[in-house]
Amino acid sequence: METERRLEALGLRLTPIDASYALDTSGAKFVSHLAVGELLYLSGTVPELDGETYLNGVVGDDLTLEQGYEAARYAALSSLTALKHALGDLDRVRQVVQLTGWVNSAFGFNDQPRVINGATDLLVEVFGAAGLGTRAAIGCRGLAYNASVEIVLVVRFDGGPVTDPRPTLGASR
């Protein structure tokens, strides 16, 4: 619960994962997380605020670097929602192992690492040194929902029980 107190001190709150998954109208088929030993693999998350996608658009065209940074923070917050669902308590996280971030980028925009710093900085604020893992920041042209950022996390946790993954329904084809 200490980790969640740090989030509250930052003025941030987690929403139930069902609210987040209700936003998914993409038709994609996936689960929220999978545990393999003490590693927890999370599906990609986008920025959300108050039950809506947040700061949509192309960084470098529609959004500034600073707005992209904020979007990455909120994408990380969405990942923390999935972590909370999986583990029940964020204090069970031992280490962020890897963060991969995609930035919906304008042609010629090359500050993806600085955008994804928003996610990294939030994870370090919440987990301390354990929030800093390996990382990649990738520019792309287009993300689902016209999201500006999507991140994927892999974390090491205490190895205890994990909640069943939350599936999406996906589209039938």
The H or E element that residue 39 is part of is strand 39-42
Q: Is residue 35 part of a domain?
A: yes
> Among 145, 154, 86, 143, which Cα is nearest to 115's?
143
Mean pLDDT across 41-60 = 93
Model pTM score: 0.93
Express the helix, strand and coil content of the chain in percent, nearest 5 each: 35, 25, 35
In a domain, 27, yes or no: yes
3-state class (DSSP) for residue 47: coil
Structurally, how many domains does the chain consist of?
1
Q: pLDDT tens, 79-130?
A: 999 999 999 999 999 999 999 999 999 999 999 999 999 999 999 999 999 9
Sign of CA dihedral 38, 16, 73, 88: negative
56 part of a folded domain: yes
Distance CA(39)–CA(25), nearest Å, equals 28
Inside any domain, residue 42: yes
**What value does the mean pLDDT take over residues 24-39?**
84
Amino acid 171: pLDDT: 47
* 130 belongs to a structural domain: yes
Per-residue pLDDT averaged across 144-148, rounded?
93
- At 121, which CATH number? 3.30.1330.40
CB 131 within 8 A of CB 12: no
131-158 average pLDDT score: 97
Say if 163 falls within a structural domain: no
pLDDT (0 to 100) of residue 51: 79
Residue 173 placed within a domain: no
Q: 172 pLDDT band (50/70/90 cuts)? A: very low
In a domain, 170, yes or no: no
Domain residues for the domain of 142 are 2-157
* Cβ-contact 74, 48 below 8 angstroms: yes
